[in-house]
Structure 1
Amino acid sequence: MKKFMSLVTVMIIACSTSFSANSADLEKGIFELNRGEFKRAMEEFKPLVETGYAPAQYQMALIYQNGWGLPKNKEKALELMSMAAEQNYADALFSLSVIYSEGEVVEKDLKKAFQLMEKAAKKDIPSAQFNVGVMYANGTGVNKDFYQAAQWYKKAARQNYVLAQFNLAGLYFEGDGVEQSLEQSYLWNYIAAKSGYVPAQKSRDIDEHKLSVKQIQETREKAEALYANLVEQQELKVKAREASNQLFN
């Protein structure tokens, strides 16, 4: 039996950019936040929070949660995070799900954690898609369902999310939720290993011992082609985001 990766609990500071003055101010705040100028960041975020702008509520929640430039205040962070999540802001949905799964600030509620994470996953957030897959695989806040786990891993894997690729390979190796296929296990381990993920490299080697030379060669060719496509799609997304950001500079 191969090992699987468990829940991801941290997201990178980011925002979904739209063409508005609010977004321009938000970008300025995030720029200041990322270079450690917390006071200046808050000066950009606070007016937006007062207008009910979800991305700014989320960023201020992170500031209170982590104590960046002010004392930690997890209750205030929860309040702001909840406000942003009520507007279906994906990053807030993700983070609030983690809060409910950990049960430190609020009473632990795995069912609610799953519901929030699923909402984030439906907004095409690969880390959330991966987490929903893990929750289905483990029966965390939802009935255990390997088929659903596989479907969510696939969504994240196709966005070149390495942990999902690795777990998807494991399902194919075991035949859980999918038709057992050593070729598919090898393919996804190969792709994850291309990104330097060491556990996938080890699992790929296990797969190789069970495949013929012809199977290995054919699957490698498919994996290389798929990997190239995944990387290309990633680069296109980055360029699109950079082009959007240029409008504010």
Structure 2
Amino acid sequence: MSIIKPSRYRRPKGCYFGFVVLLVVICRALSASAGSLGDGRDALARGDYESAIQIWTPLAEQGNRIAQTALGAMYNNGFGTPKNPATAAKWFRKAAEQGEAASQTELGLLYSEGLGVPQNYDEANKLFRLSANQGNATAQYNLAVAYLKGHGVAINEKTALSWARKAADQGKIEGQTLVGSMYQMGKGVPQDYGSAANWFRRAAAQGDAFGQLMLGLMFAAGQGVPQDYVSAHMWTNLAAASGNERAAEMREKVARQMSQSQIAEAQRLARDWRPKSEH
């Protein structure tokens, strides 16, 4: 008999690239660049953010969309300059108008949150769609959230699932856990615990604490996977190690159903486990 039922947790409403991820995108674009663009990349790599801004600003003013995106990221996150969403929006807009998907996504998120620009879900979704149609996984995920929450569009769970699946197929962790949650709850798709577990497993394998928690809960409950307390303990233990308090609670509940040898095996599996990125 199952002792734990998987809970219906959700992630935050939207998903930003995050400073580190966005700058990885920028650095990839700059990887073959020489001259000033490359100099700015090098300054960024050594943590000299003020010099990076000084190098990229004249290039951005000349219309270079990569430099504009880079400046938007710096101002949006307060690296090398005071945090200024309005200035970030200015630079993201200039790059977005040139078709830069990363800037379209970030500007869309500023509109969605009302940071540096008036909140406007219609404008946000327009920008997300432009970026998503270029294959940007973060934009695809945020369109999914918009359709789930009814932000600027009518709620449509099937459309939300379609966009979330596009992001998830690219390895987007938030997309994978959202798809898993939708299969688990039967939103936009017939309820399917096996598919839910598979999507949570993909996120968990990349080191995502939420995915690890949900997969652990499914092993504990025997939903979509055979009931397996060793696996349940392992995954909730990994999630707890990332600071997830709910996972720590569930690990202790699972441990009460286990022998000492089973706990030792679960702990060994957790120690030996390593994340595997899909990117």
Q: TM-score, normalising length from structure 2? A: 0.77
The 1-side partners of 2:10 and 2:88 are apart by 30
Q: What is the SS of the residue equivalent to 2:170?
A: coil
Provide Cα deviations, 1:17-67, integer angstroms capped at 9, x if missing partner: 432464343122111112232333233222212211211111111222222
The Cα RMSD (Å) is 1.8
Q: Which amino acid in the other structure matches residue 34 of structure 1?
A: N
Structure with greater Cα Rg: 2
C-alpha contact (below 8 Å) 1:5/1:163 kept by paired residues: no
C-alpha contact (below 8 Å) 1:4/1:166 kept by paired residues: no
* Deviant stretches of 4+, over 6 Å: none
Provide closer, same or farther for how the CA distance between residues 39 and 205 of structure 1 changes in structure 2, counting only shifts above 3 A.
Answer: closer
Match of 2:75 in 1: 32
Unaligned runs of 5+ in 1: 238-249
Identity percentage of aligned residues: 28
Match of 1:11 in 2: 15
C-alpha contact (below 8 Å) 1:132/1:152 kept by paired residues: yes
Count of residue pairs brought into register by the alignment:
231
Shift of 1:171: 0.9
The 2-side partners of 1:77 and 1:41 are apart by 15
Q: Which amino acid in the other structure matches residue 94 of structure 2?
A: P
Counterpart pick for 2:95 among 48, 63, 67:
48
Shift of 1:69: 2.2
Q: What is the SS of the residue equivalent to 2:191?
A: coil
C-alpha contact (below 8 Å) 1:190/1:200 kept by paired residues: yes
C-alpha contact (below 8 Å) 2:6/2:221 kept by paired residues: no
The 1-side partners of 2:219 and 2:235 are apart by 9
Counterpart pick for 1:199 among 234, 246, 252:
246
Provide Cα deviations, 1:166-225, integer angstroms capped at 9, x if missing partner: 110111111111111111111111111112211111111111111111111122111111
The 2-side partners of 1:5 and 1:28 are apart by 38
Unaligned runs of 5+ in 2: 31-63
Alignment of 1:100-139 (within 5 A): 100-139=147-186
Provide closer, same or farther for how the CA distance between residues 144 and 98 of structure 1 changes in structure 2, counting only shifts above 3 A.
Answer: same
